[in-house]
Amino acid sequence: MDAKQFVHDALEKIGVTVGGDGPADIHVHDERLYKRVIRDRELGLGETYQEGWWTANQLDEFLSVAQETNLQDVVKPSFALVKLALASRFSNRQDIARAKKNASAHYDIGNDLFERMLDKRMIYTCAYWRDAHDLDSAQEAKLDLVCRKLKLEPGMRLLDIGCGWGGFAQFAAERYDVDVTGISPAIEQVNVARERTAGLPIRIEQVDYREMTGEFDRITSIGMMEAVGPQNLGTFFEKCDDLLTPDGMMLHHTIGSNEWKTHTDPWFDRYIFPGGVLPSLGQIARATEKVWSIEDVHNFGPDYDRTLLEWHRRIGERWDEIPHYDEHFRRTWEYYLLGSAAGFRVRAMQLFQIVFTKAKQRNPVYDAER
């Protein structure tokens, strides 16, 4: 059996037809695709899409079917995947120096892209759509949910780890009258955050969380734990313990995996989030046991499907305004957004908000907010 027939048979088994008109069906424009996918699996599938070797009637639907049927298991693990697994096991790919490079590789690609894709506050994490009908209101609903879960009160000192472009810090300072310190290793985010929060009781610093000092009443990270790395989860929560007051509270908003992982998909690692690894609830619980009490776990992963589709729609309508992002980049970004949406759609990925207090407190008061 040749490579073409092997791939056609594998796709047929999951209900995908090459050249068909169904939503998940694909069209092959370069037959080198077949050997490339067999050789490189997920990496090859993504790279050949970037190169225009194939298209899908609805890319998110094809990738949804591929994930829910475990299409990757049909092909043996690639050299790239084995190499990434070994590197993740025997080296710390998220130490301080690498963490800064990893953050810059994604967040410093250009604010002009993110300004056109995101909401008015530039919140680059899952929105909360329960009572919202547009992206701006859904993101504000998420920010307010975080503040209510943290029981913010005027004058509290809040540390926002991975503050992005300052949207949450600004919201918390203006709506809840708290003093905020936001930190990010990405200089483009820091510069914008400082501009946006000027005149408010907010300090923005370009530092890694491991370099942070001080004492805070509340700590949050929104979409940052994915960059911590499995080898550093213990260090991350130890640093939070050092920074949080004894009666404090913290909330971490993170994409989560259903499985205990030490590395991620090689395509995402190479082209989107170098060094990023999605933690499972088991990994988080292991890293926090004895020191932290988990007060609440809230999963609203399906909201990320809708958020990603909205980001894709918004940037899709405005690519002509930023022509210096070429066709290869546009296809890369499309594969990233719609592939991620597919992952949340089939519940291969989750979105967790987890509230913590320090262990062995007497009667800490926490009421779950929804």
Residue-wise DSSP of 104-143 = HHHHTS-HHHHHHHS-TT---S----TT-SSHHHHHHHHH
Residue 13 lies inside a defined structural domain of this protein: yes
| 152 and 52 assigned to the same domain | no
Predicted local distance difference test score (pLDDT) of residue 138: 98
The whole-number pLDDT of residue 98 equals 61
Helix (H) or strand (E) segment spanning residue 256: strand 244-257
67 and 112 part of one domain? no
Closest CA relative to residue 187, chosen from 271, 257, 100, 112:
100
Of the residues 18, 42, 76, which one is the last residue of a structural domain?
76
Residues 33 and 102 in one domain: no
Q: Which domain holds residue 69?
A: 3-76
Q: pLDDT-based confidence at 362, cuts 50/70/90?
A: confident
Pairing between β-strand 216-222 and β-strand 202-205 as defined by DSSP bridges? unpaired
Domain boundary (76, 101, 123) is at 76
- Residue 190, pLDDT above cutoff 80: yes
325 and 203 assigned to the same domain: yes
Give yes or no for residue 122 having a pLDDT over 80.
yes
Average pLDDT, the chain: 90
Q: What pLDDT, in 10s, does the model give residues 197-206?
A: 999 999 999 9
Q: Specify the pairing of strand 244-257 against strand 292-299.
A: unpaired
336 in a domain, yes or no? yes
Indicate if the pLDDT at residue 81 is higher than 90: no
pLDDT score, position 367:
74
Distance CA(220)–CA(355), nearest Å, equals: 9
Res 326 pLDDT > 70: yes
In this structure, are 178 and 231 located in the same domain?
Answer: yes
Neighbouring CB atoms inside 10 A of 155's CB total 11
pLDDT for position 206: 95
264: which 2 tokens? 């991620």
- At residue 108 the predicted structure's pLDDT band, cuts being 50, 70 and 90, is confident
Same domain for 107 and 56, yes or no, is no
210 plus 186 within the same structural domain = yes
Specify the pLDDT at position 84.
37
Residue 93: the pLDDT is 54
Element (H, E) at 297: strand 292-299
Segment 273-283 shows an average pLDDT of: 92
Q: How confident is the model at residue 100 (pLDDT cuts 50, 70, 90)?
A: low
Q: Is the pLDDT of residue 129 over 70?
A: yes
pLDDT, residue 109, reads 81
Domain-embedded: residue 102: yes
Inform me whether the pLDDT recorded for 1 exceeds 70.
Answer: no
Whole-number Å distance between alpha carbons of 357 and 296: 10
Burial class of residue 176, CB neighbours in 10 A (0-12, 13-18, 19+): buried
Indicate if 32 and 117 belong to the same structural domain: no
In a domain, 85, yes or no: no
Place of tokens 């960059």: 227
| 96 in Cβ contact with 211 (< 8 Å) | yes
Residues 124 and 24 in one domain: no
Residue 365 domain flag? no
129 in the Ramachandran plot: left (φ > 0), alpha (ψ -120 to 50) or beta? alpha
Distance, CA of 108 to CA of 105 (rounded, Å) = 6
The predicted model gives 231-255 an average pLDDT of: 96
Same domain, 114 and 234: yes
> What's the mean pLDDT in 128-154?
97
Least confident of 85-94, 167-176, 316-325: 85-94
Q: Is the pLDDT of residue 92 over 80?
A: no
> Looking at residue 59, what is its pLDDT?
98
The angle that helices 187-196 and 167-176 make with each other, rounded to 10 degrees, is: 30
**Structural domains in the chain (count):** 2
Q: State mean pLDDT over 72-76.
A: 66
Nearest partner of 59 among 330, 362, 353, judged by Cα: 330
> Would you state the pLDDT for residue 105?
62
Q: Which of the two residues, 208 and 360, has the higher pLDDT score? A: 208
Same domain, 64 and 208: no
249 and 188 housed in the same domain: yes
- Cα gap 190→164, rounded to integer Å: 7
Q: How confident is the model at residue 70 (pLDDT cuts 50, 70, 90)?
A: confident
User: Residue 273's domain is classified under what CATH number?
Assistant: 3.40.50.150
Mean pLDDT of 333-358: 97
Identity of the residue numbered 45: L
* Residue at a domain's end among 20, 44, 76: 76
Q: What was the pLDDT predicted at 339?
A: 97
Q: How confident is the model at residue 74 (pLDDT cuts 50, 70, 90)?
A: low
293: in domain: yes
* Cβ burial, residue 137 (10 Å; 0-12/13-18/19+): middle
- Residue 226 within any structural domain of the chain: yes
Give percent above pLDDT 90 in the chain: 78
Per-residue pLDDT, 327: 96
Q: Is residue 229 part of a domain?
A: yes
Higher pLDDT, 64 or 39: 64
